[in-house]
Amino acid sequence: MRKEYILTVYSENHIGLLTRITNVFTRRKTNIDSLTVSESALQGIYKFTIVIHCTDAMAVKLVSQIEKQIDVLKAFYHTNEEMIFQEIALYKVPIEPIYESDTIEKIVRKAGARILEITKDYVVIEKTGHKEDTQALFEELNQFKVMQFIRSGRVAITRDPIERLSEFLKERDAFLTSLD
Amino acid sequence: MTAKKVTGSQALILSLMEEGVDTIFGYPGGAIMPVYDALYDFDKEVKHILTRHEQGAIHGAQGYARVSGKPGIVLATSGPGATNLMTGIADAMIDSTPLVCITGQVAEPLLGTDAFQESDIVGMSIPVTKWNYQITTPEEIPGVIAQAFYIATTGRPGPVLIDVTKDAQFGELDYKYEKCTKIRSYVPETSIDPHQIKAAAELINEAKKPLLFVGQGIIISHAEEEVKAFIEKTGIPAAWTLLGLSALPTDHPLNVGMLGMHGNYGPNKLTNEADLIIAVGMRFDDRVTGKVSEYAKKAKIIHIEIDPAEIDKIVKTDVAVLGDAKKALKMLIDNVNPNNHENWHNEFKKCDAIENEKVIQKDLYPTKPGLTMGEAVRIVSEKTNNEAILVTDVGQHQMIAQRYFGFKKSRSNVTSGGLGTMGFCLPAAMGAQLGAPDRTVVGVVGDGGFQMTIQELGTIAQNKLPVKIMLLNNNFLGMVRQWQQLFFEKRYSFTELHNPDFITIGKGFGIPGHTVDKREDLDASIKKMLDHDGPYLLEVKIEKEDNVFPMVPTGASVSDVILEP
């Protein structure tokens, strides 16, 4: 059964590695719904958060083929239930409706969004949440003709009480030391 | 080790020498000229084989690597030089052949500007390399070359490509070399879990109809003796994959032959009767499994494999033993009970008798007028006492040669398995001869594949390599024609070839040869080829429309293997 999976990949920061990782999906004709890359809490180790729709068996194979890449330290896959995740969305809305009524203000309050910037032409609103939430806010704001809308890729943290990456790195360090 | 000042190009050659490189296959060009200039000073230490095409260089390196166990080294220029390597890189990737390919690149300030002979070879080769890297400063050279060798040769071997910009070749550095022994993000081999060995041994000891698969992993991990000891203790029949050929002697009593689409009848048929499969260093290629949903359904599966990504990729395993095949087999031997599985062996013998009557006798000892591929291969094998290295191309002749050539020593079978690259044979045979200079190397090639890399006759002649080339000529792209006959209502769409006079072509390159088309001349002709001191081309005109059987038709189950049309 196909469902949404969140893959997290920890890697060295080498040129070309992004292509190597995305190629694993290309080969298996799997679309990447969202992709976020940034440095992890550990200096020099980069974290990819990749959202895909696939079967459980496919998620397992994708992870093992990603891990096979030389510069990848470790890859995991999780269901949405196993992770706490968020996306951030920005909305640029014309200023006039704000002068005319308090509807936008009410929408922003109700959605738990916040206003980042107000100019004489537009207002920029920020909302963090799941895609359904940021999308719902877009639908509501769009009655005022949203000028620009952007949603980030997903960032996610495991609910697991065991920090598997830290465990993994400890084991790996011990292994590398044993080679000396 | 103290550092000394050298150019990037010199550092590159010195680094290769540190890794024990004695042979390079290559082709010069603008962006790699500084390296070629540095090579000029080391012609005593390093033999450079100038091929006629970069594809010849890389297949040569593959042949060299497969027979010697050492990584093959390829040198090419940027742009077309680099892109011409791609087929060989993909071939080495899928067949786990260690290669270090070094390509020149335009100078760093020109990168990305569509400069003359610029191609993004790093980007292009990502999906077909185990690892690749672009060097833009001379200081990086020794470290990256050390990593390249470590990655190419450890774990599941594979091709690595290092792209070196021309300015990095010209620049200077303080050179010192240190071999790479570890990389944080790469653990080539995990230590074997004794629990898995115990679980595997339990299954082995309980099995009534066990079957062991010999993959190339046995050859790569030098586990030939271990696998022999294992099957001899347990009495388990062993079938080899196309790339597992020669890991055991052909005539070993427990060797039941080849798996796969054109493998032997017994191992295919009985895979679906087995109650246990022990797959060692193989990857359940679709040519081996046939229809996966009907594959080995009665069997538990033990998979001994070094590449974790192969576990459960195609066939769900019951016990996965991750790690080196040699170490795993050593551990297993101590945990398994002696057995002989006599009744089970008898089932193979029954299958062998059927295959022998329906296929083998007709192939090897034909009574019809036209020459068969099988009889030519049989005579070569007999006359070389099963001690030659067999190099094949891709197609009917390949399957026939792999079915009927006998082996005594490991690393004696060189073929393009996973990728099925036509044009592989001639350059790979040249490379195999360089990798095993004291052995007889026979290239068995079809008339289609021969013409894809025929220019390498020039390289063979120039280097006086005594490669014996047996061309099995049916003036057809035979395997495609066979499929057209069997599955496309004999619609022979673009498979017939109007061929040149191959013997005259050989002579043009300075390679003697002759043609044989009569059975009474075949034996003497093959003797003449093998006895000739130097390279020789023997063209055997074979029956135009012979087919290869047995055959597991595409999409069929292995137990539906057919013996005749």
Choose, out of A70, A178, A180, the residue to mutate when testing the contact with B (most B CBs < 10 Å). Answer: A70
Tell me: pLDDT of B2 over 80: no
Q: Which residue of A has its CA nearest to B128?
A: A20
* CA quadruple B446, B448, B452, B453: dihedral, nearest 10: 20
* Model pLDDT for residues A23-40, shown as the tens digit of each residue: 999 999 999 999 999 998
- As a whole-number percent, the residues of chain B with pLDDT over 70 amount to 100
Provide the pLDDT for residue A160: 84
Q: Do B122 and A16 touch (CB under 8 A)?
A: yes
Q: Give the class (CATH, top level) of A84-155.
A: alpha beta
Which fold is adopted by the domain B4-175?
Rossmann fold (3.40.50)
pLDDT, tens only, B191-202: 999 999 999 999
Number of other CB atoms surrounding residue B396 within 10 Å:
24
CATH 3.30.70.260 boundaries in chain A = 3-83
Record: fold of B194-347: Rossmann fold (3.40.50)
**Mean pLDDT, rounded, for B184-189:** 94
- Give pLDDT, residue A166: 84
| B chain contacts of residue A19, beta-carbon cutoff 8 Å | 123, 126
pLDDT tens for each residue of B499-547: 999 999 999 999 999 999 999 999 999 999 999 999 999 999 999 999 9
Which tens digits make up the pLDDT trace of B90-113? Answer: 999 999 999 999 999 999 999 999
Q: Look up the CATH number of domain A3-83.
A: 3.30.70.260
- Say what the pLDDT of residue A178 is: 87
> CB–CB of A23 and B126 under 8 A?
yes
Digit-coded pLDDT (tens) for B437-467: 999 999 999 999 999 999 999 999 999 999 9
In the block, tokens 């290669």 appear at: B99
The mean pLDDT of B56-66, rounded to a whole number, is 98
Q: What is the pLDDT of residue A164?
A: 82
Instruction: Give the active site residue among B10, B147, B166, B373.
Output: B166
pLDDT tens string A83-127: 999 999 999 999 999 999 999 999 999 999 999 999 999 999 999
Tokens standing for residue A35: 């992709």
* Predicted pLDDT at B1: 56
In this prediction, residues A53-70 reach a mean pLDDT of 96
Q: Does B292 touch chain A (CB under 8 A)?
A: no
The ipTM, to two decimals, is: 0.92
Q: What is the pLDDT of residues B403-423, one digit of tens each?
A: 999 999 999 999 999 999 999
Q: Which residues of A touch B (CB under 8 A)?
A: 11-12, 14-16, 19-20, 23, 26-27, 60-61, 64-65, 67-68, 70-73, 172, 175-176, 179
Q: Any idea where the domains of chain B sit in the sequence?
A: 4-175, 194-347, 369-541
Q: Are strands A155-158 and A83-94 parallel, antiparallel or unpaired?
A: antiparallel
Q: How far is CA B59 from CA B358, B423, B528, B537, in A?
A: 36, 9, 27, 19
Alpha carbon distance B361, B352 (integer Å)? 11
Residue among A26, A27, A176 whose CB faces B182 most closely: A176
Whether residue A50 is predicted with pLDDT greater than 90 in this model: the reply is yes
The DSSP code sequence of B421-455 is -TT-HHHHHHHHHHHSTTS-EEEEEEHHHHTTSGG
How far is it, in rounded angstroms, from Cα B54 to Cα B29? 11
Average pLDDT over residues B372-394: 98
Per-residue pLDDT for B19 more than 60? yes
Q: Model-level pTM?
A: 0.96
Q: Give A179's pLDDT tier (boundaries 50, 70, 90).
A: confident
Every domain of chain A with CATH number 3.30.70.1150 lies at: 84-155
Cα-trace Rg, chain B:
24
Residue B210's pLDDT is: 98
Categorize the per-residue pLDDT at B237 as very low, low, confident or very high, splitting at 50, 70 and 90: very high
Report the pLDDT value the prediction gives residue A41, as an integer from 0 to 100: 86
Can you read off the two tokens belonging to residue B8?
A: 């990037």
CATH number of B369-541: 3.40.50.970
